[in-house]
Chain A
Amino acid sequence: MCDTCGCGDTNEHSHGHDHDHLHDHDHSHEGQVTIPVGRDILDMNNRLAERTRGYFEARNIYAINIMSSPGSGKTTFLERTLMELKGDKNFFVIEGDQQTRRDADRISATGVPVVQVNTGSACHLDAGMVNRAVKDLNPENGSVLLIENVGNLICPAMFDLGEMSRIVMMSVTEGEDKPLKYPGMFRTSNLCIINKTDLLPYVDYKVENAVENGLKVNGRLKFLEVSALTGAGMEEWYKWLLANTG
């Protein structure tokens, strides 16, 4: 155990000399010096996200980061939301996908302004991509910005985009144990949308078990059950949205 850096794992602690700890161990032997750094590895991302958040706050824009596995129904859910609510609220959308403009084209068909971000090899949106997309999109004061992240239950959870809320979606065809398998995503979200409830009769999925698993990971998580296809349950989501976005 090294005092200066506190490194605990002596096995991986390789120096080019015998290391018997008889001398004062402060890492400054043999002309070497240990410099404390203490910098967050994602601090570039986090700082940029904070700047974007400040921009949103100044313009009273409510930004929501929507995450799920590929195909849980994020775009379908957004399409319905926009069609049914665009008369009541100003919406703007950022679509994140590794490739193609397909989701942006679907959103565009609703008449709502959208920017597609292609992340290429990256499996998540990051603060830089969103910051640039926001400049392109130039959302109006007082609007709601919906950000559809790349379909992936792991990586997006690590990247703050400057959002005010995080929504994780799971569909009933994915299994009740998603929260236990991907705790990071569920721990950092404040709302969980359970989608494709129209398929409940055909799958071995009990909503109460999924909710119980979600609460094990994050006791403050809220749940809403919807079918983006049939529209069932969407009213509750609209209430949540209008209540949170003022």
Chain B
Amino acid sequence: MHELTVAENIINIVATEAGKAGSDMVSEVCLEIGLLAGIEYEALDFALEVLAPGTVMDSAAITIEKPGAAAKCNNCGCEFSFETFMGSCPDCGSADLAIVRGNELRVKSITI
């Protein structure tokens, strides 16, 4: 269950950033976690529920943005969205692709 590690890291980041702003309590945390990031959203919710009490995120409302997956073809330059699979470019068939969206795993903002 790597979601526990991820939840721990989220709380640490939020604590550090809130601390820099002179606060020890946040009211909102906005996360950005793409569909390719390898996170089970429900497992993360659960992990945060378990770990947040008594921390800076005790009473925080959590919002998760979930960018879908997109790739860019390094051969013909086209960009396309996909679900889980991106074996080859739909235009030219090249396998030389780079993921441009969906891997996000970020604390985007906090509200104090």
Contacts and interface: CB of A to CB of B under 8 A. Distances in A.
Contacts of A14: 61
Interface SS of chain A: helix, strand, loop or mixed? loop
A15 B61 CA distance: 8
A157 B30 CA distance: 24
Contact of B85 (A37, A155, A217): A217
Interface residues of A, number: 44
A175 interface: no
Contact of B106 (A15, A41, A124, A215): A41
Contact of A40 (B17, B30, B95, B106): B106
Contacts of A40: 105-106
Interface string B101-112: 000011111111
Interface in A20-47: 27, 32-42, 44-45
A41 B107 contact: yes
A204 B85 CA distance: 24
A40 B108 CA distance: 9
A207 interface: no
B5 A27 contact: no
Contacts of B37: 158
Nearest to B84: A183
A-B CB proximity, top 4 nearest: A219-B95, A5-B109, A155-B2, A5-B30
Given A37-B107, A184-B38, A215-B87, 5 more contacts: A38-B108, A41-B9, A44-B9, A123-B1, A180-B85
